[in-house]
Amino acid sequence: MTKSENIVWHDSKVTQEHRMKLNGHKSAVLWFTGLSGAGKSTVSVEVEKELYNLGVHTYRLDGDNVRHGLNNNLGFSAEDRAENIRRVGEVAKLMSDAGLLTLTAFISPYREDRDKVREIMNEGEFIEVFVKCDLDVCESRDPKGLYKKARAGEIKGFTGIDDPYEEPNNPELVIETDKNSLEECVQQVVKHLKDKGYLEV
């Protein structure tokens, strides 16, 4: 849905395919979704380091980081969360188009918002990674002290407390951070990329 008329797409001569060939690996979007404290940021940071060591060109988009800049005009209402994810999806698509193995770490609690991002990607370009972790465990970790604030009523509409988290129906990958170590979770993601041929052209 575009607001403006009279806009015409102008193709590049250098395409995503060319960039993949130049880089020696495929580009895609590894979309980490899950509750706050589930481990999206922690796992994605480690996966990116592993990929870097394997010679893969990457970039990581993280929820809080993006809300400092690009999305600093958005809050946590359902509309703003949807717009947050829409913009991040578009940026991730651009990055993937630029040849990068892009990692995103957003709670992205609504299935519809995630599915809309999937729809704008090419076949096989969107890899949804459900970072699964019991709410109790996330709350006991509480790395940012946010659950404590939410329970005290200082944060309204907090995912898992007074706002829903809709689990993915068909994610490409599920990692269980309350059952497996960080290292195991990281290896599962890297293995998936290797097995599915993303790390070669």
Residues annotated as catalytic are 108
105 in contact with ligand ATP (CB under 6 A): yes
Out of 18, 21, 144, 148, which residue is the one contacting ligand ATP (CB under 6 A)? 144
Unique residue bearing structure tokens 């940026």:
91
Residues in the chain: 201
Closest to ligand ATP by CB, 147 vs 198, is: 147
User: Is position 156 annotated in a ligand binding site?
Assistant: no
Out of 19, 39, 66, 165, which residue is the one contacting ligand ATP (CB under 6 A)? 39
Which residues, numbered 164-193, are part of the site for ligand ATP (CB under 6 A)?
Answer: 177, 180-182, 185
- Report whether 129 contacts 189 (CB < 8 A): yes
Q: In what order do the strands lie in the sheet with 126-132?
A: 58-62, 101-105, 28-33, 126-132, 173-176
User: Is position 37 annotated in a ligand binding site?
Assistant: yes
| Closest approach of Mg ion to the CB of residue 41, in Å | 3
Footprint on this chain of Mg ion (rule: CB under 5 A)? 41
Which residues, numbered 44-103, are part of the site for ligand ATP (CB under 6 A)?
Answer: 63
Rounded alpha-carbon distances, angstroms, from residue 1 to 74, 86, 90, 130:
20, 12, 13, 28
Unique residue bearing structure tokens 């980081």:
65
Residue 64 DSSP one-character state: H
Unique residue bearing structure tokens 């020696």:
24
User: Is position 96 annotated in a ligand binding site?
Assistant: no
The binding site for ligand ATP (CB under 6 A) comprises 34, 36-43, 63, 105, 107, 141, 143-144, 177, 180-182, 185
